[in-house]
Each structure stands twice: as C-alpha cells, then as structure tokens.
Amino acid sequence: MKPLVSIFMSTIRPYNWPILHKNFSTSSVPFEMICVGPIEPDFAMPDNMKFIYSEVKPAQCVHIGVQAATGKYVMSVADDAQLCDGGLDRFVNEAEKCSDIEKTIMTPQFARHGQDFFGVGDESTPVLPVGMFLTKKLWDKYGVDKNFYGVYWDTDISMMNYADGGRTIICKDIQFSDALPIRAGTRVSSCYCSGSRSTADRSWFYAMWVNDFLNVSTLENDLNFLAFFDKTGSHYKPPPRGSWIRKERYRPFDPIVDSDDILTVSQGKNYE
C-alpha cells in the first residue's frame, strides 16, 4: 500500500528503529520510515522501513531521506524521540481538516520542556517546530540550506514559510518525547555530527533570522562559527533579550544540490 506519510531521519542509533517503528504502527495510516546514516542495522527491517547508507552530515542526510519519500505528507524526526500512540493518525486528521495546509507546518508538543523557540507565536516570536509534519509539496518549496549541518535546518524551513505568510501550529494533543536510549561508546563518523556542530548550527540560525544578532557579513567565508561562541568556546551566544524576528532571511538561501555524489560528499566545509 502506498504510504500516506513518509517519516525520515538522520540517524546513528539503529537499536532505536524497532521502537520507533512500533510507535508509528500504533496509527492506522499507511507510512514508510526512511533512515539515513552511517551505521547499518543488524536486524531484518519491515517492508515499510528503508535504510540508506551515508556518511554525510545530518542536514544532507535529511535531504537524502526526503528525496526518497513517496507520501503526501512528510515528517522529520530524531532517532531518539517518539510520538504519543496514534500520533500519525492525529496529524493526518488535523491536516485533512486544515484549509491552508499548503502554508501550514504542524508540530507536536514537546513533552519535556515545551517548544516555543522565541516565545508563544506572536508577531515577534513565531512558533518553530520539533518534529515537523507538513505536505511534501510544501517541503519541496523550500528544502534544506547546505550550510546547515546539525539540527536547525527545520526551523529555517519554518521561518521561510512564516516569511511567506505561512504558519507553524502546535497540535497540543500530540506529544513528542526524547526518552529513547542513547548507548554509551557509540562511534560515529567524524564527518557526521557532534554536539558542538549542533550548537554552531543554532547560532547560524539565529544570525539568519534575529534582527540584532551577529551580522553574518562579518563572518570569514560565511562559515566562521567561532564568532558565535562565548570565551570558553562551548556555549552559543543567545539572541539579545527583546530581539525581534526578521521576516526576510538575512542570507540568500543556498540549497543542497542533487548530484551523483550526494551520498559521499559532505556539505559545506569540514571542521575536523
């Protein structure tokens, strides 16, 4: 049966995939689960689960995953988080009732600490997603900037949709939790990810959309992330209190380009 929902993830934890698949299977809608990353599973996968081997960085893995998606709706998730039971059914029900679904991104309520990135969704602080659910048509309108390599490419897509008059809404009866296990000692390809890269990625996002954050034009070769960190080099500089969100992206959008070598070539620069 053709999937209605395509779920895709940049992943390094195959031991969580059966848990995630079982979680998504609590819904009745047909779905496919696409896992892209550098660690192959050591178990037989269900027919509606696909693994694509890649050692490129997370945002590029997401790009690979969504290119393989065949559903009307797509959902990006992390491999250490899951929805409440029946979450896909609830998303589809809300989407089918939404009159402006081609301008709307839906997000679950993050169970641990909420998810209002800058505020509560007013004019200056739009809601941004964690585990966003949207039509593939809307995703394809924007895509992923190749300069994002950690996690905040999804908020960038949401902001571009917001700037074009779209919105992100919280589905408060759909909970999202990051309670799945992370095994100690897991080795990951150095080109793939690290905590510091995700931190720099957050600062890159701030610079694109917060009006009084660090001016991106001062960055060496567009990607000198050290300028975003405090003196210890371990924490990003948050936006100044009272910052407002731009409605126009500061830097031109530079999407990942499909090519024959996309599975083997890292996006942007390596910071090894």
Q: What is the mean pLDDT of residues 159-168?
A: 91
Task: Say how far apart CA 178 and CA 181 lie, in whole Å.
Answer: 9
What integer pLDDT is reported at residue 123 of this predicted model?
Answer: 55
Q: What percent of the chain is predicted at pLDDT more than 90?
A: 41
Judged against a pLDDT cut of 80, whether residue 84 lies above it is answered with yes
- Flag the least confident range among 1-10, 55-64, 104-113: 104-113
Q: What is the DSSP letter of 218?
A: G
What integer pLDDT is reported at residue 262 of this predicted model?
Answer: 82
> Tens of pLDDT along 228-241?
444 444 455 566 66
Hey, what long-range contacts does 23-27 have (CB within 8 A, 24 or more apart)?
Answer: 23/82, 23/83, 23/85, 23/87, 24/83, 24/87, 24/88, 26/85, 26/86, 26/87, 27/86, 27/87, 27/88, 27/89, 27/90, 27/92
Task: Say how far apart CA 26 and CA 175 lie, in whole Å.
Answer: 14
Considering only residues 151 and 74, tell me which one the structure prediction assigns the higher pLDDT.
74
**Structure tokens, 178:** 């990051």
Across the chain, mean pLDDT equals: 80
Judged against a pLDDT cut of 50, whether residue 69 lies above it is answered with yes
- Into which CATH architecture does domain 5-193 fall? Alpha-Beta Complex (3.90)
